Amino acid sequence: MRWKMNSKIDLDTDCQITTGTIPADLIPDSTRFKELWSLHPDEYSEIVIHGKHVKVPRWNRAYEKDYPFSNQIAIAHDVPESLKSYLEWVQQEIDPRINGLFVNWHDGSLSHYHGKHRDSTKGLIPQTPIITISLGEERVFRMRPYPKGNLIKDFVLRNGDFIIIPWRTNQHWTHEIPKFAKYKNHRISVTMRAFE
């Protein structure tokens, strides 16, 4: 197994997540990170919230498979060579059905964040996991029970950490990347899913 499992964490009696660290050779050095950072689009994408078009507070892009969410569809681009190693690793080590990537670029100096949500499962193979690899500056990955609850569970994702969210957990827990003034640098999340 080419990864280190940090822990399997129970969120409640029915839902859990797994956290770990990718192999050292997949954690980008500063040169490779700059290459990955340069892939971000020039413009923010838009989503529809309560009938209004809103620009998301970060850059994002789909690769290999279109991703429908928030009343719009992120049209997929071909996966660049610099991202292929992450897809191949997940297919080999976690689930061979994983075939689509969705990348978010967070710039702490611009107060980028990702609001509370559950991932859209439209077009996904049922019961497959969602895997996110975090690269660059550490960020808090916050989870809350859905549809409501005062409980908050925070996990710090550092450079090279990943999190596996099972299907059931995504149905019953939201996740988010909140903004904090202390984060000023760049972070990339590479989220991978299994599309039909």
DSSP-derived letter for residue 88 is H
Amino acid at 106: H
Binding-site residues sit at 104, 117, 175, 187, 191, 193
Binding-site residues for 2-oxoglutarate sit at 104, 117, 175, 187, 191, 193
Query: Which among 185, 182, 181, 190 is positioned nearest to 161, based on CA atoms?
Result: 190
Secondary structure element (H or E) that encloses residue 15, with its range: none
**Rounded Cα–Cα distance for residues 190 and 88 (Å):** 13
Amino acid at 99: N
Q: Could you write out the three-class secondary structure of 105-153? A: EEEHHHCCCEEEECCCCCCECCCCCEEEEEEECCEEEEEEECCCCCCCE
